[in-house]
Amino acid sequence: MTSKGTISWGMAGAALGALGLCLGSLEPAQATAGNISDVAKVQKTGTHEIADVRSSVAASIQRARNISRILHQAMVDIAGKPEEYVVEASDFTAVKEQLIEMEDIIDGLTRGASAEVVACLGYDTLRRVTAEARSNAAGAEMLAWQSMKTPDVAETDSNGEGLKALADRFESEQKSRQHTWSV
């Protein structure tokens, strides 16, 4: 944390660095993936080219999992931060946007390939893990934006006791309905 009450962008920076490695490991796979049209060809081919694609995809999956973990921890940290600290949302926005680009790259690599080929090469898992990482980046971004905004307090004539009584009545009615359904 900095002295100005801002949480540093270290987590987002770590995620961006890992993302760069993840995208870089897909480069050898790009040329090969477009040339593979059916799973039989993939299964019969024992070439180094196919092995390189699988290896690149596996490395990218591991890096995407690491990115997802970093971003999940960032959400936990942001949610538990003291109120006086502000988190820069733009850092997480950049990570989210790069993960969206990665999803587009994966979609482009697998366009035209059958689901079996995509699964055989591991692209389906990579797409799923990348989507999870993007979701975590969006969650961290949302929490960061919330840390930057002062909550609006609405003036109301309602008192706390009245709202509590309403909530208790609702809960009681829900319980009686559940009891009726289970009988």
Confidence (pLDDT) at 6: 45
pLDDT above 90 (res 108): no
Q: Output the average pLDDT for the chain.
A: 75
Residue 142 has pLDDT above 90, yes or no: yes
Say what the pLDDT of residue 48 is: 67
pLDDT at 79 over 80: yes
Percentage above 90 pLDDT, the chain = 17
DSSP string, the chain: --TTSEE-SHHHHHHHHHHHHHHHHHHHHHHHHTT---HHHHHH---HHHHHHHHHHHHHHHHHHHHHHHHHHHHHHHHTS-TT-EE-HHHHHHHHHHHHHHHHHHHHHHTT--HHHHHHHTHHHHHHHHHHHHHHHHHHHHHHHHHHSPPPPPP-S--HHHHHHHHHHHHHHHHHHHHHHH-
Tell whether the model's pLDDT for residue 8 goes beyond 60. no
Predicted local distance difference test score (pLDDT) of residue 7: 44
Question: How does pLDDT run across 20-73, given as a tens digit for each residue?
Answer: 555 555 544 444 444 444 444 555 555 666 777 788 888 889 888 988 998 999
pLDDT tops 70 at residue 5: no
**Domain locations along the chain:** 6-152
pLDDT at 128 over 90: yes
Average pLDDT score over residue span 115-143: 90
Contact 78, 112 (CB under 8 A): no
| Number of Cβ atoms within 10 Å of the Cβ of 90 | 13
Q: What is the pLDDT of residue 113?
A: 77
pLDDT at 135 over 70: yes
More confident residue, 168 or 148: 168
Higher pLDDT among residues 169 and 135, named by residue:
135
